[in-house]
Structure 1
Amino acid sequence: MEALHTQGVLMAASLQQRTMDQERLWQVVTHMGDPKAAFLLLFPFTYFVSRRAGVAVLWVAALSEWLNLVFKWMLFGERPFWWIGESRLFEDKQLTVQQFSSTCETGPGSPSGHAMVTAACWWVVVSSLGSFLYSRTRSLVLSAAPFLFYVLMLVAVGMSRIFILAHFPHQVIAGSITGFILGVVLSRRVPEGRPLLFFFGVSMGLLLSALLLHAGLEQLGIDLSWSIALAKKWCSRAEWIRLDTAPFSSLTRDCGALLGLGLAQYWKPGGWSLPWAPRALSLAISSMGLYHVNRLPLPVRPQGVFYGLFFVKFVIVPQIVIVLVPGVVHLFTHKKKKD
């Protein structure tokens, strides 16, 4: 692994040297590949175009990120920004690399969560779009365009993660392949119309199973906080260490979003039926609402309170997109038609 890590660091250094003037672009790409973006950006956009695809995106995002967390706990992947210091291989060699505000994630590095969740969720989108285009045009070339975009996007997200020293190339490749497989498998069974008890059971099952796995590994003498200690030790700036990048934050996000999806379908089975103009308005308002929900400051001490509120925050996300905003838009547009 040392040779693999060394080559990965040298690739990152070369990428930074050649494309440092594109730093802002790499930062935007890595933020678009953030698993959080699947919940806050991709889900609402997809939902107001195709209800089934939107539900599938949220479902796939939650399950793929949960699996990514489990894989990281089991695989103990290093991250370049701390491995460079820990390995001490570059003390006598000239290596110029730079960290960024999104570099210092605290979880283990393998496989890449950005690549894995992006590959899984965007497969839902591009496969649906490709099928739609083929059904309308019967053109293989036109229907293949979304899949070309899919490949280019995965390459861009992977390179952005290498550029900022968050992942090694092999971690990005592993995440992309695993995410693609999950996207294909999970998108075949979309939980539309399932009862609230189903979502409650899945949410609590994922939460408890992860906690039990964590406790079991701790009992075996495995310190699962090792990556947090290394991130704090080698991160260039202390303020770049954020609790919302910790492993338990992704766990509470996934479980909260799934419970929220169940509640939303319970409050309004089948969702609101809206024409295209009200759908566009609902998307705009939902996006603004999710932006402000995401920016809500949460107390970081005690951590149990933070994780509890983080869970509630993502329970709210599907309520805004599926129930509240479309309901209000429907109310006003319906009144306008009656008048």
Structure 2
Amino acid sequence: MDSVHIQGVWIAERLQERMKGQENLWLAVTHLGDPKAAFLLVFPLVYFTSKRTGVALLWVAAFSEWFNLIFKWLLFGERPFWWIGESRLFLDREPNLHQFPSTCETGPGSPSGHSMVTAAVWWVVVSSLGSYLYSQTRSVVLSVSPYLFYLVLLISVGLSRIFILAHFPHQVVAGSITGFLMGVVLQRRVPEQRPLLFFMASFGLLLTALTLNAGLRLLGIDVSWSIALANKWCSRPEWIRLDSTPFSSLTRDCGALLGLGLAQYWRPGGWSMPWAPRALSLALSSMGLYHVHRLPLPVQPQSLFYTLFFIKFVMVPQIVMVLVPGLVHMFTHKMKKH
């Protein structure tokens, strides 16, 4: 794999050279591809456009990120920002590369989680939009346009991950292909009108991941090897964030799935609202999620951080599917009476 990694490093160097001065653009793109964006940004936007697609999106986001974590634990992928130093293959000519605030992720590198979750989540969006456009217009050209956007988005997110030294090119390609396949498969199994017990299976996902983790440790495999390397080679210690650890991803996914089940349990089918109340619900939900996301969590003890992180993502579907639309529905209903 050394030759593949070396080529990936030179590709990253050329990208940074040619895109000098565009760092903010590529950091914005990599934030758009962050799995958190699927839960906090894309989910409310899609849900208030199409409830079924919104539920499918949350479902696919959680499962694709969970599978990404399992793949990472099994594949032991390196990340460029630490491999360059660890490999000791660049002593004669060290590449001219820079790290960024989003570079220092602590999980293994293969496959790319940003590319995988982006490919899975946005497949749900563009395939639904493409079908809707064709049903309304019968225009093949118009219905294909979302898929062109999808391709551009995947390429952009992948380039951003290579640019900031978070991934090698082959990890981006693997993540994009795997995410696309997962999006196609999982979209056909949207959990609508399921009993709450079905969503309690989120604890099964948590238990499965923890069992795999424990099993690898019993085999003498240190599953936290990547965290030590990230801490060693990150150029700025403050860029190491606890919410980028593999266990944070796991608690986010399990929390979101449980929250989805609770939301459908409290209000099966949601509320039927015209476009204006939906737009208001979207705006209020986005504001609510922004403030929930910005809430500072204590990083010590870590068990408390992960518990609160889990609760935070349980709340995401409650805010979007129950609390905000419920309040808007109640307010608009009273306005109609008067």
Deviations 1:74-128 (A, max 9, x none): 0000000000000111121041000000000000000000000000000000000
Other-structure match for 2:292: 293
Query: Match of 1:91, SS?
Result: coil
> Distance between the aligned counterparts of 1:183 and 1:15, measured in 2?
29
Three-state SS of the structure 2 residue aligned to 1:223 is coil
Q: How does 1:23-38 map to 2 (within 5 A)?
A: 23-38=23-38
Amino acid at match of 1:317: V
**Within the alignment, does 1:4 sit opposite 2:31 as a pair?**
no
Distance (Å, rounded) in 2 between the aligned partners of 1:21 and 1:154: 22
Which residue pairs with 1:109 in the alignment? 109
- Equivalent positions of 1:187-206 (< 5 A) are 187-201=187-201, 203-206=202-205
1:181 aligns with 2:209: no
Q: Distance in 2 between matches of 1:191 and 1:16?
A: 43
1:165 Cα deviation from its structure 2 partner? 0.1
After TM superposition, give the deviation of residue 272 of structure 1 in Å: 1.0
* 1:32-76 CA distance string (max 9 Å, x none): 000000000111000000000000000000000000000000000
Question: Structure 2: how far apart are the matches of 1:168 and 1:149?
Answer: 23
Once the two structures are superposed, residues 112-160 of structure 1 have per-residue CA deviations (whole angstroms, 9 ceiling, x without a partner) of 0000000000000000000000001111111000000000000000000
Distance in 2 between residues matched to 1:91 and 1:277, nearest whole Å: 61
Q: 1:124-135 maps to which residues of 2 (within 5 A)?
A: 124-135=124-135
SS across alignment from 2:55: helix
SS, match of residue 21 in structure 1: coil
1:220 pairs with 2:219: yes
The percent identity for this pair of structures is 76
Alignment TM-score, normalising by the size of structure 1: 0.99
* 3-state SS of 1:316 partner: helix
- Give the deviation of 1:18 after TM superposition: 0.4
1:86-101 matches, within 5 Å, as 86-101=86-101
Distance 2:295 2:20 in 1: 32
**1:153-302, aligned counterparts within 5 Å?**
153-201=153-201, 203-302=202-301
C-alpha spacing 1:163/1:272, structure 2 compared with 1 (3 Å): same
State the 1:189 CA deviation. Answer: 1.1
Q: Distance in 2 between matches of 1:199 and 1:295?
A: 27
State how far apart, in whole Å, the 2-side matches of 1:273 and 1:196 are.
22
Partners in 2 of 1:120 and 1:239 — Cα distance?
A: 31
Matched, 1:323 2:322: yes
After superposition, the CA RMSD in angstroms is 0.5
Q: Secondary structure at the match of 2:121?
A: helix
Q: Which moved more, 1:84-93 or 1:255-264?
A: 84-93
**Matches of 1:108 and 1:69 in 2, distance apart?**
9
Give, in whole Å, the separation in 2 of the partners of 1:41 and 1:222: 36
Match of 2:333 in 1: 334
Q: Which amino acid aligns with 1:141?
A: V
Equivalent positions of 1:42-53 (< 5 A) are 42-53=42-53
2:311 is aligned to: 312
Q: Equivalents in 1 of 2:10, 2:337: separation in Å?
A: 66
Which runs of structure 2 are paired with 1:140-151 in the superposition (5 Å)?
140-151=140-151
Structure 1 residue 297: deviation in Å?
A: 0.6
Q: Where in structure 1 are there 5+ consecutive unaligned residues?
A: none
SS of the equivalent of 1:166 reads coil
Deviations 1:165-194 (A, max 9, x none): 000000000000000000000001100111
d(CA) in 1 for partners of 2:183, 2:314: 23
Using the alignment, how far apart are the partners of 1:262 and 1:137 within structure 2? 35
Which structure 1 residue ranges, 4+ long, deviate > 3 Å from structure 2? none
